Amino acid sequence: MVKKIALLEGDGIGPEVTAQAVKILHALAEKFGHQFHFEKALIGAAAIDATSSALPQETVDVCKNADAVFFGAVGDPKYDNDPNAKVRPEQGILGIRKSLQLFANIRPVTTYETLHHLSPLKSKQLEGVDIVILRELTGGIYFGKKQTSADGQSASDECSYNRMEIERIAKLAFAYAQQRKKKLTLVDKANVLDTSRLWRKVVQEMAAIYSDVAVDYMFVDNAAMQLIINPAQFDVILTENMFGDIISDEASVLSGSLGMLPSASIGDSAALFEPIHGSYPQAAGKNIANPTGSILSAAMMLDYFELFKEATLIREAVEWALKNNYVTKDIDSTNYYSTTQIGDIICDFISGKITNARDNREALQNPAVI
Ligand code: IPM
Ligand code: MN
């Protein structure tokens, strides 16, 4: 298979973590006889520095011409505390979501037994936790009309949704539920918001069609609490843009490290894959960031290409690495490996250079390497 992939490394640790995933994709291509061609393009603060726009038109064109977009992270502290900044790195990712119409953000929350001790929750509560969050990504308050009054003393952000926007992602959420534990939870604020009442109405109508899926409805404040007290009750969570942003960060701590989690953003004719973590500027250039979120995002991209065997091999390699304590500093602060070492180890596993010989790798275990 030949695929063209737009590579948007972005800011902070973006270039370091995506480099590991790219290395692994090349190893897989070699093993299975595929060709993955990467074309780099600028986004975020890196693009602002070079072109004064967070999303140059050239980047949009590269993405539109590709079979998929592989994304690192955007964000730079120099913009965070400046409410007057007219251009912001985040405009890059928001702009690409909108221009490719990536309406569904899929965030699987997987827990690994070896990482239970890192979660703020007790190990017992984490048993059986396996959630997929489907977050609407191109509507709602993120993209509604924004206004600041001339005197700068009042501001508003509009939240609006229409039936089509809800139906297309709900359809996907029902399909996910059908392939999993057949449970779907719509998270909204239907006791207060008109938009949420529309979400509920549309999903209730669809629930009658997907009669094999058990649907329940939960207010977002309660959902935030339930995710902590009983996360195992959830299977597929469907929600609007802003609620999804918040609860997916919350849910990510269940897994023990934000660095572990991948995501896919899907539209009718385009798809983008990125770890859910941000640009983590404090770690940039230090070769300590966890590349697993990016590596597992590559697995989600391979699923999208219907290269299921290849995707499974990545997931097996990640699990094998975790089990054998090949982890980065966020997971073990005394015995850890660098970002590039983790990438190399997973490549070696994929190319069959490691069978199960933990011992052969001992020499790599050198915290001083970073
Ligand atoms: C995310 C991020 C983005 C969002 C930011 C960077 C604009 O937090 O992907 O969740 O809010 O959607
Ligand atoms: Mn977020």
Rounded to an integer, what distance in angstroms lies between the CA atom of residue 245 and that of residue 47?
A: 24
pLDDT for 370 equals 42
CA-proximal residue: ligand 1, atom 8 (nearest): 245
Distance 293 CA to ligand 2 centre (A): 14
Among 345, 131, 343, 341, residue whose Cα is nearest residue 255: 131
- Give which of 85, 100, 104 is closest to 167, Cα–Cα: 104
Nearest 5°: CA angle at 91, between 101 and 158? Answer: 75
Pairing of strands 130-136, 104-110: antiparallel
Catalytic (active-site) positions: 142, 189, 221, 245, 249
264: CA distance to ligand 2 center in Å? Answer: 13
* Nearest ligand to residue 242 Cα: 1
- Of all ligands present, the nearest one to the C-alpha of 73 is 1
Q: How far is CA 79 from CA 88, 90, 122, 362, in A?
A: 6, 10, 37, 42
> 245 CA to middle of ligand 2, Å?
5
Cβ atoms 179, 212 nearer than 8 A: no
pTM above 0.85, yes or no: yes
Q: How many Cβ atoms sit within 10 Å of the Cβ of residue 230?
A: 11
Can you give the pLDDT at residue 368? 45
Nearest-atom number in ligand 1 for the CA of 263 is 9
- How many A from CA of 350 to the centre of ligand 1? 31
Pocket test for ligand 1, best of 94, 106, 135 (most atoms within 8 A of CB): 94
Give the model's pLDDT for residue 46: 94
CA dist., res. 273 & res. 21, Å (int): 11
Q: What is the pLDDT of residue 148?
A: 96
Instruction: Give the position, in ligand 1's atom list, of the atom nearest the Cα of 74.
Output: 6
List the chain pLDDT tens, one digit each, 370 residues: 999 999 999 999 999 999 999 999 999 999 999 999 999 999 999 999 999 999 999 999 999 999 999 999 999 999 988 888 889 999 999 999 999 999 999 999 999 999 999 999 999 999 999 999 999 999 999 999 999 999 999 999 999 999 999 999 999 999 999 999 999 999 999 999 999 999 999 999 999 999 999 999 999 999 999 999 999 999 999 999 999 999 999 999 999 888 999 999 999 999 999 999 999 999 999 999 999 999 999 999 999 999 999 999 999 999 999 999 999 999 999 999 999 999 999 999 999 998 665 545 544 554 444 4
Q: Which residue has the tokens 């009054």?
A: 149
- Give the closest residue (by CA) to ligand 1 atom 9: 276
Contacts of residue 205, defined as CB under 8 A and 6 or more positions apart, other chains included, come to: none
Spell out which residues line ligand 1, taking CB within 6 angstroms: 90, 93-94, 245
List of domains in the chain:
1-110+256-370 (3.40.718.10), 120-144+157-254 (3.40.50)
Residue type, 251: A
* Candidate from 93, 141, 246, 277 with most ligand 1 atoms within 8 A of CB, to mutate: 93
Q: Of ligand 1's atoms, which has the minimum distance to the CA of residue 89? A: 6
Q: Are 103 and 165 in contact (CB under 8 A)?
A: yes
